[in-house]
Amino acid sequence: MNNLINFMVIGAVKAGTTSIYEYLNEHPQIYMSPIKETKFFQWDGETRKFSGPLDPKIYDNSIKSFEDYQSLFQKVRGETAIGEASPSYLYNKFVPKRIYQRFPNVKMIVILRQPTERAFSHYLHTKWLGYEPLSFTEALAQEETRIKNNWGPSWHYKQQGFYYQQLKNYFSVFDRQQIKIYLFDDLKANSIEVIENMYSFLGVDSKFIPNTSQKYNVRYFPKNQVVSNLINQPNFAKHILKKVMPKNLRTKLNSFISQKNRFKPELDRQTKKELNKLYSEDILNLQELLQKDLSTWL
């Protein structure tokens, strides 16, 4: 089979990889796996099960055989760059060698986010999905115990932010020229410029402009759960409105109320300070490793 991947987006989790996947997928010379997170190399023959609430979904929704992995690229029709995006790859120490055994010449895209912000965003995502009953500080306090008890990486909020060793694992296997590293802050501040650079790295037309106005995986929480239920769940009030109000007006009303009823939690200053201190040595090491100015992360 000739239509095999020649690049991957390997992480980090909650650092804009969904947006990158979409922006790359828009390019006519790029073919992206129809499944955004195949997670194939997270397993690649391994049948390990985790103990956390997401255990069945994490494994069952992953691509488990190389034949199934290959089948994701059957519809490639001469695209220059063929890839996938699984942000869990960066954190898993076994993945670099697994990738190398199958695709030694593959290019890799990494995007890194300030680790404290990334950890909190990761927590909010798991909370939003309904798989995190604890507060952020409680979850951080329980993280080591959860890891010892074989909870999966979906709850490794703090540990996934130590990028230095994660990247060293890749640099020990692959040539550095194969790995392109970007910062989440740069993607937010100048997404077009960052994506153009990615296009150049992948050898496709860098003049193509994707629709970067669309934001992906932005999670909000309801200020009032009762109001949220009224909008999103079947009920008598919605039944009556459906009879007396045109669909376009109902849609606008729902959108207006939803926006007024949502908020995004903020990390408290003390926890932020403690995490920044925890990550400071790793950030300094990473700064030296990458020769990038990460002073704003400190």
For 195, the enclosing helix (H) or strand (E) is helix 191-202
User: DSSP per residue over 31-85, as a string?
Assistant: EE-SSS---HHHHTT------STTHHHHHHTS--SHHHHHHTTTT--S-SEEEEE
Indicate the average pLDDT of the chain. Answer: 89
Instruction: Answer whether 173's CB lies under 8 Å from 100's CB.
Output: yes
Selected residue with higher pLDDT from 98 and 49? 98
* Phi, psi for 110 (deg, rounded to 5): -125, 135
Tell me the fold of 7-216+269-297: Rossmann fold (3.40.50)
* Whole-number Å distance between alpha carbons of 72 and 75: 8
Query: Do the strands 30-32 and 107-112 form a parallel or antiparallel pair, or are they unpaired?
Result: unpaired
Average pLDDT over every residue of 16-45: 94
* Whole-number Å distance between alpha carbons of 126 and 142: 15
pLDDT at residue 75, as a whole number: 94
pLDDT digits (tens, 9 = 90+) for 159-192: 999 999 999 999 999 999 999 999 999 999 999 9
pLDDT digits (tens, 9 = 90+) for 91-135: 999 999 999 999 999 999 999 999 999 999 999 999 988 889 999
Per the DSSP assignment, residues forming a β-bridge with 9 are: 85, 109
Average pLDDT over every residue of 214-224: 68
Please name the residue that has the structure tokens 């955004």. 36
CA-CA distances (angstroms) from residue 171 to 70, 93, 96?
Answer: 26, 12, 9
Domain(s) labelled CATH 3.40.50.300 in the chain stretch across: 7-216+269-297
* Phi, psi for 191 (deg, rounded to 5): -60, -40
Position 1 confidence tier, pLDDT thresholds 50, 70, 90: very low
- 288, two tokens: 């030296």
- How is residue 6 annotated by DSSP? S
Average pLDDT over every residue of 33-39: 93
User: DSSP per residue over 278-292, as a string?
Assistant: HHHHHHHHHHHHHT-
Predicted structure pTM score: 0.86
Mean pLDDT is lowest, of 56-60, 103-107, 195-199, for 56-60
pLDDT at residue 170, as a whole number: 98
Please name the residue that has the structure tokens 């199934």. 68
SS3 1: coil
Task: Put residue 39 in one of left, alpha, beta given phi > 0 → left and psi -120 to 50 → alpha.
Answer: left
Counting other chains too, the contacts that 287-296 makes at CB distance below 8 Å and 24 or more residues apart are 289/164, 289/167, 289/168, 289/171, 290/167, 290/181, 292/181, 292/183, 296/114, 296/185
Q: Taking Cα atoms as reference points, which of 199, 258, 251, 259 lies closest to residue 229?
A: 258
Instruction: Tell me the one-letter amino acid at 255.
Output: S
Instruction: Answer whether 36's CB lies under 8 Å from 85's CB.
Output: yes
* Whole-number Å distance between alpha carbons of 113 and 14: 8
